[in-house]
Structure 1
Amino acid sequence: MTLNFSYSFPALRGIQANKEFYTVICPLRLIPKIFLFDEEEIPPEHRAQRLMNKSRIPEIANYILENPKEYVFSSLTASVDGELNFQSISEENSDIGNLTISLDSKFLINDGQHRRAAIEEALKISPDLGNESISVVFFHDRGLKRSQQIFSDLNRHAVNTTSSIGILYDHRDQFALLTKDIISSIPLLERYTDKEKVSLSKNSPKLFALNHIFNTNCRLIGKKKGELLSEQERSFILEFWTVLVESIPEWKLVLNKEISPRELRQNCIAAHGVFLEAVGIVGHYLYVNMPTTWRDFIKKFHKIDWNRDNKIDWLGRAYGPTGRINKTNETIHLTSNLIKCKLGLDLTESEREIEIRFLEGQKIEV
């Protein structure tokens, strides 16, 4: 069959579940023109995919634009509602050939709608990207139920990587690079940081999770992942960790193998992410307000009772009534509030508001 008005792609043919599918290489400039996605506010049961999270698009588009020689995209997967015709180049190479798709076909992206939208935005800023390409896997559309099933199957076994793994494998972000440098340069962190998990089991031989150290670094100077670091900020963060490690006796006990990481996590809040990120908030306050004397305040940490049995200080802040450590933005701030008070530092207006709400809640419970 000859399709007079059609798209034509060099393609590879494959078989899955006794059904043909095709992998093609598509120029980026064609992506916004031929691939559509279902954005209508209609009930989920009548859509073939989830609604797009538009807040993700600028981040992905910037990733392309900021890394024009390094960006990597996996294949798009799409269903085609229309006529497809595959012509092999020869009998010997029957699965290599040319795929033609009728021009009036409808394309529905089953996997990759955010990449597709980001490509469109990137092309507006850098049209030259249109000459580059992306692989696309085509399935023949057999109706809404089949398209929904494809979406479900593609996502059924998808497992997101942990944020710690993302940081470990990131060789571009300055915060990620600095965090890994700090860990490798400080023996306690090098030995007792889990570089894969985001939370530690009670029997873990580690003290810290990589993502907690990363988040603490972000809080220390009030910046986010992807932002640039000045040399002054880099130097401060590195020195901060050096001073902090020397100022917490409980950490030294673990380093000297006098107690195990498990024992420390059971008995001390200083072995948990809520503590680290709270310290990041305190450190940021010192960085901004006490640029020459901040070390003196951190050295006072050895005088603070970090024991979980110290319920007067930490119950309701670092952990709840059951004794379970609870790391939320609120508990991080409540923990940092108390640390600041113990160091003789003033609370900011927003911190005072958090403290007032907490104290009022304590009165109600009593």
Structure 2
Amino acid sequence: KENPALGKEKISVLLFETESLERLQQMFSDLNRFVQQTSKSLGMLYDHRDNLSALTMEVSDQVDVFRGMVDKEKITIPLRSPKLFTISALYEANEELLGKKIAKKGSTVYAEVLKTAVAYWTELSKIIGDWRKVKNGELSASELRQEKINTHAVILRALGGVGRTLLEKYPEGWQGKLKLLEGVDWRKSVGSSANSLWDDVCITAGSVVSNRQARAATLAVLLREIGESPNGKLTTRESAEVTSAQANG
């Protein structure tokens, strides 16, 4: 009655025969990812064709420090949220760790890759004590996110890249090299100034950034911290990555 013109409006309705829950979720993902975008996290949640997505979901459930700590719907975490990570950030970190092409879920290769991912993130969670403190209720998630950088997507992605480097170079002893990350200062600021380790790397004007240049530079910093860049300098490969990122960033 308030707006009679609405009676002439038309909307499209798609009707599907009810099948399995998995089929319904896949249709939801297809419609919303390829027609009208939902958040990346929500699209991943229901995309059963993306093997990396499936693996990331399993990692979020099998790695103790991730269980209950990953927001599977939002792409950014609300200020007072008890969550530490977004599923999209973990997905991108796994892509850095394992590559985009993952064997089909249920295959032997998939099971081995999943085992590797779970082992890596579990080992890392023993080294980054802040994650465990939040999981155990000793520290609030919002406090950690505010004061330190080790839950941000740019760091999680770089940690995936560190893992890939170590797994390739030290397939039998990567845990020992990874342990060197215990000495990393994850604070965003020291006193009234930005932490020099991250300033102009992935913190610009007091804000955390995650563009291509920041991601390449952050990975380079972490590799240096574990001795993968001799004399504290970028390797030729890292320099090329940073230069390329700067040119295309």
Same fold flag (TM > 0.5): yes
Change (3 A) 1:267 1:17: same
Corresponding residue to 1:200 among 67, 73, 77: 77
The 10-residue stretch of structure 1 (298-307 or 336-345) with the greater mean CA deviation from structure 2: 298-307
- Which residue in 2 is equivalent to 1:228? 103
Matched positions, count: 218
Question: d(CA) in 2 for partners of 1:356 and 1:18?
Answer: 57
Q: Please provide the CA RMSD for this pair.
A: 3.4
Change (3 A) 1:71 1:282: closer
Residue 238 of structure 1 pairs with residue 132 of structure 2: no
Corresponding residue to 1:351 among 234, 238, 248: 238
Residue 308 of structure 1 pairs with residue 188 of structure 2: yes
- The code of the aligned residue for 1:161 comes to T
Contact kept in structure 2, 1:216 and 1:279, CA below 8 Å = yes
Change (3 A) 1:17 1:348: farther
Change (3 A) 1:222 1:21: closer
Corresponding residue to 1:290 among 162, 170, 188: 170
Select the structure of larger CA radius of gyration.
1
The 10-residue stretch of structure 1 (194-203 or 343-352) with the greater mean CA deviation from structure 2: 343-352
Question: d(CA) in 2 for partners of 1:338 and 1:188?
Answer: 24
Aligned pairs for 1:38-117 within 5 A: none
Contact kept in structure 1, 2:65 and 2:122, CA below 8 Å = no
- Which residue in 2 is equivalent to 1:320? 204
Contact kept in structure 1, 2:212 and 2:245, CA below 8 Å = no
Question: d(CA) in 2 for partners of 1:269 and 1:163?
Answer: 22
The TM-score normalised by the length of structure 1 is: 0.53
Question: d(CA) in 2 for partners of 1:333 and 1:313?
Answer: 14
Question: d(CA) in 2 for partners of 1:22 and 1:247?
Answer: 52
Contact kept in structure 2, 1:269 and 1:318, CA below 8 Å = no
The TM-score normalised by the length of structure 2 is: 0.75
Change (3 A) 1:327 1:22: closer
Deviations 1:194-224 (A, max 9, x none): 1101111322221100011111111102225
- Which residue in 1 is equivalent to 2:224? 341
| 1:291 Cα deviation after fit | 1.1
Q: What SS does structure 2 have at the residue aligned with 1:297?
A: helix
| 1:17 Cα deviation after fit | 4.7
Residue 271 of structure 1 pairs with residue 186 of structure 2: no
Question: d(CA) in 1 for partners of 2:52 and 2:26?
Answer: 19
- Which residue in 1 is equivalent to 2:50? 173
Contact kept in structure 1, 2:71 and 2:83, CA below 8 Å = yes
| 1:20 Cα deviation after fit | 8.6
| Runs of 5+ unmatched residues, structure 1 | 1-15, 24-69, 75-114, 116-157, 360-366
Change (3 A) 1:72 1:204: closer
- The code of the aligned residue for 1:228 comes to A
Question: d(CA) in 1 for partners of 2:41 and 2:12?
Answer: 36
Question: d(CA) in 1 for partners of 2:164 and 2:12?
Answer: 54
Question: d(CA) in 2 for partners of 1:187 and 1:196?
Answer: 20
| 1:355 Cα deviation after fit | 4.9
- Which residue in 1 is equivalent to 2:90? 213
Contact kept in structure 1, 2:124 and 2:178, CA below 8 Å = yes
- The code of the aligned residue for 1:216 comes to A
Specify which structure has the higher proportion of strand.
1
Deviations 1:32-74 (A, max 9, x none): xxxxxxxxxxxxxxxxxxxxxxxxxxxxxxxxxxxxxx98599
Contact kept in structure 1, 2:162 and 2:222, CA below 8 Å = yes
Question: d(CA) in 2 for partners of 1:350 and 1:334?
Answer: 12
Change (3 A) 1:19 1:304: closer
